[in-house]
Amino acid sequence: MRFLRCVHAEWLLVRPRLVRTRFGALLVLLGAALVWLHSRGLDPLAVALNAGALGAVVGAAFAAGDDADRAALATALTHPTGPLAIATGRWLAAVIPAAGLTIACAIITGWHIGAAAAGAVAAAAVGGCALIAVLVAGNGAAVALFLCMAVAGAMAPEQLVGLADPGVARLAAASALELGPALWHYRDVATGDAGAVLHAVAWAGLGVIIASGLVARQRRLS
């Protein structure tokens, strides 16, 4: 119970940024862009997946990507809380707004419950990955991850490996798409694929656990 109170307190600390910073405005702009792309032919499932994944990356940047945020983690650990609670709270602060954006986009594009579920699952997985990235390298990592997800996240690795001469870089990219929380993994959530859900749960859990270790490291460095 104490752990849940600490997680909730961390979430409450970050939640006001949704309206007091550019976080909320960026989510609105992202949603508007995806709805516009839907009007140009992007299918509702792709809209939901991108809303969840890209929204989670933006959320992670505002939850823990700023230099001041990472420097303040050591101070936060002097309070009656722990690294795992802080990491979980920051993950929720990234994922919940992204899930809300996913649901809003799904409603606007015709409400496909499978697409909404896939987008929310993608938000959970990508949020874990993004949290690690911003704790390690700040908002620069968030920008890079956002671009990678937007450009190649939905691409299946077979599309790269199947090239006649894929090269080392393309093989490495295909491996990242295979193992990482790429969007193509979560398209099957819409049809009830348990394996896709488990993949997302694994990435979300791994992200929170590694993030908690990075938070604890801040105390040792301070």
Note the pLDDT tens digit of each residue in 38-84: 999 999 999 999 999 999 999 999 988 777 777 777 677 677 778 89
pLDDT given at position 164: 44
Can you tell me whether residue 162 is helix, strand or coil? coil
What value does the mean pLDDT take over residues 3-8? Answer: 83
Locus of tokens 């929204």:
55
The residue length of the chain stands at: 222
Does the structure show a pLDDT above 90 at 215? no
**How far apart are alpha carbons 12 and 202 in whole angstroms?**
25
Helix, strand, coil percentages (3-state) for the chain, rounded to 5, are 85, 0, 15
Report pLDDT digits (tens) over 152-204. 766 666 666 555 455 666 666 666 667 778 888 899 999 999 999 999 999 99
pLDDT more than 90, % of the chain: 52
pLDDT averaged over the chain?
85
Where does the pLDDT of residue 21 fall: very low under 50, low under 70, confident under 90, or very high at 90 and above?
confident
Of 143 and 18, more confident: 143
Nearest-10 crossing angle of helices 83-108, 2-14: 60
The residue extents of the domains of the chain are 2-221
pLDDT given at position 219: 66
pLDDT given at position 18: 80
pLDDT given at position 32: 97
pLDDT given at position 36: 96
